[in-house]
Amino acid sequence: MPNLLALIGITLGVIFGVTGLLAAWWFSRGPRLCVQVTGTTIVTRPSHERVKILFDEDPVQQVTQTLLWLWREGRGTVRGDHVVAEDPLRIRVPDTDRILDVSLLTQTAVTNGADVSWDRESKAREAIIGFRYLDPRQGLAIELVHTGIPSAVDVVGTIMGIPKGIRRVSGQRLVAVIPVTGGGAIEISAPTRLVPRHLRLGRAAGVEVSWVPSITVELVTSIGGALVRAFQRGRSSRRNG
């Protein structure tokens, strides 16, 4: 009987200890602001003097469309007046690049009061992001058209109560690379942190900006290459026969 009581006491102690740790972790989670960036280059000027790319009658080297998702994680509410005026929340591109256009695609709720502003006349390399408040898992989606590459786009700024700043997260990680007979390979990726569903679907703007597994392009490329090579080998063997 004493052994049974001791076992019960140890079990209860472990349960309460784990519960206490989980509660401490949960209540210690302060607000965090996350950003995920993805995009693609729409057109690039070839190395030929007689070919030009114009955007609003302005010559550019290339045009890239980048999507940015900015949302809240953790506990508590982040208010717009928590953003330090001397270091506002903003999208920034390198000095060698230009912003061509920027627009707000969607936000969680109209009451969030999200907006993005950019001085088109001065051709500024920064666009200011504003909002009234963001509760947990609330955020916004922004479309940026620029002359650089998506990975060079950054979101910076100082927000009171978030000393670590804006946390940039990756949309996916490589899980496996599967070789395909005849050459090539299939890359399988999985999402690491999902953007809130309502922002990925972009219902307010009527656009879909959801995560797409990279396996599709790799699979089509690999299988297509294998089929072409098989067809060529078949034609060659028929000729030799």
- Tens-place pLDDT, residues 14-40: 675 656 554 444 444 567 899 999 888
Report pLDDT for 128.
96
pLDDT category at 121 given cuts 50, 70, 90 is confident
- Tens-place pLDDT, residues 166-214: 988 876 554 455 554 545 444 444 444 578 877 875 544 444 444 333 3
221 phi, psi to nearest 5 deg: -60, -45
| CA 240/CA 227 separation, integer angstroms | 20
- Tens-place pLDDT, residues 150-161: 989 999 999 998
Report pLDDT for 86.
94
Report pLDDT for 163.
84
Query: CATH 3.90.1150.10: does it fit domain 31-169?
Result: no
Ranges of each domain in the chain: 1-29, 31-169, 170-241
Report pLDDT for 19.
63
Report pLDDT for 161.
87
**Residue 71 reports pLDDT greater than 90:** yes
pLDDT category at 144 given cuts 50, 70, 90 is very high
